[in-house]
Structures are given as C-alpha cells and as structure tokens.
Amino acid sequence: MIFSSITFLFFFLPVVLSIYYIVPRKFKNLVLLVASLFFYFYGEPIYVFLMIFSIISTYIFGLLIDKYKKYSKVFLAISICISVGILVYFKYTNFIIQNINLWLKNKIDFIYVILPIGISFYTFQMISYNIDVYRGQAKVQKNILKLAMYISLFPQLIAGPIVRYTTIEGQLENRTHTLEKFSNGVRRFIIGLGKKVLIANVLGELASKFLVSNDVSILFFWLYGISAMLQIYFDFSGYSDMAIGLGKMFGFEFLENFNYPYIAKTVTDFWRRWHISLSSWFRDYIYIPLGGNRVSKIKWIRNILLVWMLTGLWHGASWNFVIWGLYFGIILLIEKIFLDKFLEKFPDILKRIYVLVIVMISFIIFNGEGVEQILRNIGGLIGFRRIPLVSNESLYYFKSYFVILLVGIIGSTPLIKNIVTSKKLNKIAGYLEPLVLLIILVVSTSYIIDGSFNPFLYFRF
C-alpha cells in the first residue's frame, strides 16, 4: 500500500483516523500499532513476521544493554550483527554471489529472495535505538508495544524519513492533538501528494521515454538528466512531506528531511539539505565513531570514502550505487581540501550551477544500469560521438514537457514559499489556500484513478 493510492487515501487512512480519534487516549498507541502492522501486512504478508522478530530482538537487547552495563558493548554488537545480518541476507546476498561468480569464475546459484519493503529504513531505526541506549542518550523502552509502534509507525515505515527514537521518545508517552496541528498535517500531506503525483510521476514518464527511445541528441540527454534529477527530488521530498503530514495528524512531530537542496552553493551544503535524516545518521553512527575529521589526514580520507561507499550501498545492491556514493565522497574531499576556497570567489549563480551539474551527473549514475549506459548518458550531455544538438523527437518532448519542467524547477526553490508568506500576499494566500489544496487533491486523485505511472522510487530501499 502506498500513500498515493485510492486504497490508502479513501479507505485505510479515513478508517484509522476515525478509530484513533474515537478511542480514549490510553488506546491510541495500540490503534496505531495495529494499523501499522496491518499497513505492512497488506503489502508484505510474510515479511511482517520478520519485522516483528526484529522488533522483539531490538527490545530484548535494549533491555540487556541497559541492565548489564559490564557486557553492554557485547550485547550491542550482537544486536547490530542481527539487524545488519538480516539486511545483508535479504538485500545483498545475490549481489555478493554475483561478484563471487565474476571474480572467482564460480557458478553459485542465486537464491530466491524478495527484498522486504522499507527494511533499510526500519533497520537503521532499530540500530540507532540500541546505540542511543548504549550511549545513555535514550532511556530504554520497557513497554514493547510502544517500541513496536515507534519502529512500525506507518507514516515513516516504508520510505522514511529515518525517525530516531530520541526525536519522538517523549511523544510516545504524551503528544498533543489540536485542530491546528491536524489541519497543518492535512495541508502538508496534500502538498506532498501533489509533488509526487503531479510533478514526480509526470517527469518520470519523460525520463522513461528517453530510456526506451532510439533518438540520440544533446537536447534529449539534457532533458533526461534534468527530468531524472527533478523526479527523484519531488518523489522523495513529496513522500517525506506526506509522512510528516501524517505524523502531525496523529500528534507526532517528525524532523524535516529536505531543505531546498537545489539552491545549495556547494556539494557539502547540498548534503546538509538532501535526505537529512540519512546523512545525519551516517554522520552520527559511522563517521564520528570512526574519528570523523579528528584523525590523521589519511584516516580522515578513509572515513569519508568508507561512509560514502556505505551510503551508496545502502541505496541498493549494485555497483552503480557504490560508484554513486564514492563519486560524492571524492567530490566532498576535493571541496574540503581546496575547492571551497576557490569557489568563494565565484558569484552565487555559478556556485549553484556547479552543484546542479554535479548532482545531475550523480543521478545519471544513480539510475544507470551498467557502466556503458552511465558513460553514454553522461557523454551525451557534451555531445560525445558528435551527436546532433536537437532532433524532431527531442523538440517534441521539450515542447510537451516544458511547462512541467518549469514548474519543477521553480518548485524546487523557495520562491513560491517566499511569495505566499510575504506580508503583501500572506492574507490573500490564506484565503486561497483551502481552494488550492482542494484542487491539488482532486487533480491528484484523478491522476491516480486514471492509473498513470505511479511508482515510489525509494520502495526498493
């Protein structure tokens, strides 16, 4: 079940909200837990038991870490090994077999395994919980139902953001429910739905048409690069908006996951704004424990490259993801060692163009299926092999998708937000907002009913 589906929008969510607000406060967590398990069961009937096992394991080891301080490091290590072991088995086993066969010329058969939805997200939440208990940064949760609700909470279960236990620890016990918070949640959800259905899905259609086309022109390669870059932003930030909005409807406050990353002036700044919950997770649980930048230069370089290689692998069991992660690691090292001082001399517009080109190339790598395709798509941006500048097909798609590309470009900046929140237009925007939100909801629903292209890119993670 995905948020941008009729089943979720008009059946599951209304029923859960109705029951949640009818029952007394002491039963609200139970309602959310049951609803979340059903939500996951609907999409993954078998793997819901895997998630329950993981929750029980995390709960038991949390208690052991808290109670037996002398052996807490051992219990932490075991709990991490179990969580990571499950993740590796389901996500990376065939990738490992593939590479063993390639390098050692073996013929090990692949195993039949389906990747459980959202396992990368909830595994990181369980690991961070036990680490925080070990560090004394979080109190151990002795009520297994509350811990289970935290891990399985359906708004953020299958595609994030990665909500840390310390963020909502107090909210599990006591959270406020107000009409204002609920209405803000509805507003945020509808905006996210519109970003996903009306922008990301349409731009995804353009990117898909490029991949199956035999047309070769510089314009078409740029259309693909820009549409793919905008698609993944609106897809994932739209999902995060919906998750944050749903959280508010149930009284939770999740941290922001995106902060207009495409206005960044450096790649370092881009990663402070993009998928904030993931980058901060790797910083706090991998990079800093390795020594961060408070080590020798060689070890610091090692830390950067290792963290970014793992970041790439987290996104998928394929070499293009590893290359994508190392690509960013190398760019960040170059910036930190000498490029930052050089960039300071350039005007802001050139800094932003530099970041956008770097990021666009990164998503060509991200979406690539094999080195040959990646090099072809990157080379096409600069007219490699003397391809034509434009073609009839590329001009057709440029004209057809120009408006949505323009909407995507403007929507990825804070321009609209700054306009509607300005003193002159704030009151007018307040009156028009309900109508605009209603239009977005109706049009988005129409697109969903029509059965158009409607994937969630991060479901495979």
- Tell me the per-residue pLDDT of 235-278, one tens digit each, with 9 for 90 and over: 999 999 999 999 999 999 999 999 999 999 999 999 999 999 99
Number of domains in the chain: 2
Q: Which of 175, 208, 234 is the last residue of a domain?
A: 175
60 and 156 within one domain: yes
Distance CA(70)–CA(51), nearest Å, equals: 29
Token pair listed for 52: 């329950």
Instruction: Report residue 454: phi and psi, to 5°.
Output: -145, 55
pLDDT in tens, 146-161: 999 999 999 988 877 9
296 and 167 within one domain: no
Q: Which domain holds residue 121?
A: 6-175
257 and 117 within one domain: no
pLDDT in tens, 330-365: 999 999 998 888 888 889 999 999 999 999 999 999
Q: Is 177 left (phi over 0), alpha (psi -120 to 50) or beta?
A: beta
Q: In terms of C-beta density within 10 A (0-12 exposed, 13-18 middle, 19 or more buried), how is residue 455 classed?
A: middle
Residue 209 lies in a domain: yes
148 and 211 within one domain: no
408 and 374 within one domain: yes
Host H or E run for residue 269:
helix 267-273
If one compares 289 and 429, the residue with the highest pLDDT of the two is 289
What would the mean pLDDT of 366-394 be, rounded to a whole number?
Answer: 87
Residue 135 DSSP SS3:
helix
Q: How many CA atoms lie within 13 A of 284 on its CB side?
A: 17
Residue 252 lies in a domain: yes
DSSP codes of every residue in 136-202? TSS-----HHHHHHHHH-HHHHTT-----HHHHHHHHH-----HHHHHHHHHHHHHHHHIIIIIIHH
Token pair listed for 151: 């891990």
CA 132 to chain centre: 22
33 and 85 within one domain: yes
389 and 289 within one domain: yes
**Residue 253 per-residue DSSP state:** -
288 and 140 within one domain: no
107 and 200 within one domain: no
Q: Is residue 275 annotated as part of the catalytic site, yes or no? A: no
Residue 2 DSSP SS3:
coil
What would the mean pLDDT of 13-36 be, rounded to a whole number?
Answer: 95
Lowest mean pLDDT among 131-135, 189-193, 273-277, 387-391: 387-391
Q: Which of 148, 175, 202 is the last residue of a domain?
A: 175
Closest by CA to 243, choosing from 189, 311, 291, is 189
What would the mean pLDDT of 315-327 be, rounded to a whole number?
Answer: 93
Instruction: Report residue 105: phi and psi, to 5°.
Output: 60, 35
What does the buried/exposed string (b/e) look like for 212-245 if buried means 16 or more CB atoms within 10 Å of the residue's CB?
eeebebbbbbebbbbbbbbbbbbbbbbbbbbbbb
187 and 169 within one domain: no
Q: How many CA atoms lie within 13 A of 299 on its CB side?
A: 10
Q: Which of 122, 144, 175 is the last residue of a domain?
A: 175
Helices first, then strands: H and E counts in the chain: 22, 0
Catalytic residue among 315, 364, 377, 448: 315
**Radius of gyration in angstroms for the set of CA atoms belonging to the chain, rounded to a whole number:** 23
Residue 1 lies in a domain: no
255 and 359 within one domain: yes
115 and 197 within one domain: no
What would the mean pLDDT of 299-328 be, rounded to a whole number?
Answer: 94
For residue 174, pLDDT beyond 80: yes
